[in-house]
Structure 1
Amino acid sequence: MAHPVLVLRMDPVTAVAHPAHSWFDDTHALVAGSLFVALGMTMFGHAGLLTGGVAGVAFLASYATGQPFGLFFFLLSLPFFVLSWFRLGPAFTFKSFGAVALVSVCTTLAPKVVRFELLNPWVASVLGGFLIGFGLLALLRHQASVGGVNILAQWLQQSRGFSAGKVQMSVDLVVVLAALWVLPPLQVAQSVVGAIAIGAILALNHRPGRYLGV
């Protein structure tokens, strides 16, 4: 009597072992992602818009004092690196610190190398938001971030399974809506569109069960 044969099939997607990112891969992603974020932030700043989290507070401080956005962004991001060090590890922390420093420097120098003769605020909110979102996505997929709420969102995704994009979008919207106390409603509405553009990129492309980087 012939015995039945049990055939096991491996899912070709899950069976493939992805090679770890090399230092060149990580460096390229860190530089490219940081430049995307810096350009998007520069567009937001030129149009007088806000974003959420630490960057939003940095924009408000910059608008109020006339000092560079990059200075406040760097200083306000520093406390979050304590959480990053203990919860996400030294490698993530060092790469994120490098990204924050690069974004801070690039946004400070941007007025000397980038000028917008005409930039509609609605265009800035969507295009700038997409640039920031793709920049954040590149950083997160190589285990880095631009500090602040981005670090918190990454930790919650890794430890609790929450979508980093949804966490980021929720916090961003709260911060932007709170700006109704200091900004005209139209600018707040444009900033909300920008926050949604950023969060949508992350929510659709960076979530549990999808590629997270190794």
Structure 2
Amino acid sequence: MANPARGKTPAGFWASSAEQHSLIEDAQGVIAGSMLAALGVTLLASAHLLIGGTAGLGFLIRYSTGLSFGVVFFALNLPFYWLAYRRLGLAFTIKTFLAVALTSVLTEVLPGLIPIGGINPLVAALFGGLLIGTGMLALFRHRASLGGFGILALYLQEKLGWRAGFVQLALDGLVLSLSFFVATPFTILCSVIAAVTLNLTLAINHRTDRYIVR
């Protein structure tokens, strides 16, 4: 006879349970998600594309002022940590802070380690959007995010049942509307494709009723 307590032991540094990730699993998820997201951002930046959310605002500021994307992205997320702490808990906030910090650092160093030149903007949009979406999916499944609108989208999904991907898609549309001031119509079109690819990846693959591990 199966042991009814099986799979319900508390998770520790290494051992996990059916309901909770272990610390090492969370660390791997945060690092992997940040790496995928940073690579996606690098692809988009190499084609001078934009994206939604705080990353999109970071791109807009970078293209308008020449400031470092990593520094701007990190700073833009600072106001959202209070909402994360109040609504989603200390563990979520810490993991999200680490994910944002690691992504910010990686977006600064990756262009020098992986030089990308002459990439087709449409290809950059599809692969960049998919990579960022997959990275965010990994972070969501380990109770973390890339901050900013991701925190708000995840909070609304948990509280109201709204799909995180669709919520973020709406917010991204607001940010992308600002891109008309700094980009050509073709660049904007490819940026919209990147945003749609990212958010469809989340909307199709992230559902709390299918994936309940914490």
The 5-angstrom pairing of residues 87-102 of structure 1 reads: 87-102=87-102
| Paired residue type of 2:41 | M
Name the structure 2 match of 1:108: 108
Name the structure 2 match of 1:47: 47
CA distance in 2, matches of 1:72, 1:95: 19
Structure 1 unaligned spans of 5+: 1-15
Name the structure 1 match of 2:29: 29
Name the structure 2 match of 1:57: 57
Farther-moved stretch of structure 1 (59-68 vs 153-162): 59-68
CA distance in 2, matches of 1:212, 1:162: 16
Deviations 1:155-196 (A, max 9, x none): 001111111111111111221133113311111100000000
Name the structure 2 match of 1:82: 82
| Paired residue type of 1:21 | H
Name the structure 2 match of 1:66: 66
CA distance in 2, matches of 1:197, 1:150: 15
Query: How does the TM-score come out when normalised to structure 2?
Result: 0.90
Structure 2 unaligned spans of 5+: 1-6, 9-17
CA distance in 1, matches of 2:55, 2:49: 11
Query: How does the TM-score come out when normalised to structure 1?
Result: 0.90
| Paired residue type of 2:64 | A
Asked if residue 160 in structure 1 is aligned to residue 154 in structure 2, the reply is: no
The answer on whether the counterparts of 2:63 and 2:182 sit within 8 Å (CA) in structure 1 is: no
The answer on whether the counterparts of 2:46 and 2:117 sit within 8 Å (CA) in structure 1 is: no
Asked if residue 144 in structure 1 is aligned to residue 137 in structure 2, the reply is: no
Deviation at 1:78, TM superposition (A): 0.4
Give the greater-gyration-radius structure (CA): 1
Name the structure 1 match of 2:12: none
| Paired residue type of 1:179 | S
Deviation at 1:72, TM superposition (A): 0.3
State the Cα RMSD in Å. 1.5
- The alignment covers a number of residue pairs equal to 200
CA distance in 2, matches of 1:186, 1:19: 46
Name the structure 1 match of 2:133: 133
The answer on whether the counterparts of 1:206 and 1:212 sit within 8 Å (CA) in structure 2 is: no
| Paired residue type of 1:135 | G
